[in-house]
Structure 1
Amino acid sequence: MPTRTKLRAAALGGSADDIEHAFYEALQRGDIDALMACWADEDEVFCVHPGGPRLVGTGAIRAAFEQMFDNGGRIDAQPARVRRIESLASSVHNVLERIEVLTAEGPKHAFVLATNVYHKTPQGWRMVAHHASPGTSAEPTEAHHEAPAFLH
């Protein structure tokens, strides 16, 4: 499906996965309007970039992404290893973002763990929170722990 058609379909309904795909695609293109179309139009939406302050509201979020796009034009972030917790009206995705950064020595990769929260709004699924950890140069491993047989 072409990008604009996919974004339009996500805007009219679709799923949290569609909005997540549109969000990362907009990051990769440096398309602020497409990126902001993924966010809910609510006063309390928030975004935390690695090592940054909590940005509250679409105005603050837009300004931060505009500054990032002005500095580098786009952000090559590829989501992987998505873990989902879903309900009828919300979906929480924990993703490993593989970021490619161009340096004088060539491309380098960084890895960021991010949590994206989506709510089903009257306009369809929309992002209400994006929180990203500081990056690392090595791909993080996942720890799996079994629940104890008795909690108390």
Structure 2
Amino acid sequence: MADVLAAHRAFYDAIETGDVDLMSSLWVDDIATTCVHPGAPPLKGTGPILRSWTVLMAGVGYIQFFLTDLEVTLLPAQDPTTAVIVCTENILSDAGSVESFSGGRAVATSILVRDAGRWRFWARHASPLIDPEGDT
């Protein structure tokens, strides 16, 4: 389980540090991989997925993820080859200036598979969590 969680955390480390090489190493290289960014249509294939992360990371000055409600399911239970991870992303990012930060939350589901002896992302879907009280 520790190696699954390490691969999952490395994904967020890549985003926080803008490390395109690390992000590339974390995805299975296949045309069937899938990524859904909040509010966007699904991306298919590792090339388009990595391009999207490169553009996203280039446009963010500061971002930090605090993960909560982390649930991991390993399949099959004996000698797992697939991991399903669901968590809440509590996100802190700059809002265009050093003095201004904004926050948000999303729920993310990630599917990792064993690939060449390592855990790598096969699919990811993130969706924003809306505060029912509203931010007024």
| TM-score normalized with structure 1 length | 0.74
- Report the residue type matching 1:23 in the other structure: F
Change (3 A) 1:18 1:32: same
Matched, 1:34 2:22: yes
Q: Which residue of 2 aligns with 1:95?
A: 87
Q: Which residue of 2 aligns with 1:120?
A: 114
1:106 Cα deviation from its structure 2 partner: 2.3
Q: Is the partner of 1:23 in helix, strand or coil? A: helix
Change (3 A) 1:35 1:73: farther
1:135 Cα deviation from its structure 2 partner: 4.2
Pick the structure with greater CA Rg: 1
CA deviations on 1:6-38 (whole Å, 9 max, x unpaired) are xxxxxxxx7211110111111110111101111
Larger displacement relative to structure 2 (96-105 or 50-59): 96-105
Aligned residues: 125
Structure 1 CA distance for aligned equivalents of residues 8 and 18 of structure 2? 15
Task: Please state which structure has a larger fraction of its residues in strand.
Answer: 2
Structure 2 CA distance for aligned equivalents of residues 26 and 113 of structure 1? 18
Gaps of 5+ in 1: 1-13, 139-152
Conserved 8 A contact 1:119-1:128: yes
Q: Which residue of 2 aligns with 1:44?
A: 32
Matched, 1:77 2:69: no
Gaps of 5+ in 2: none
Q: Please, what is the CA RMSD of the aligned residues?
A: 1.9
Q: Is the partner of 2:121 in helix, strand or coil? A: strand
Matched, 1:17 2:33: no
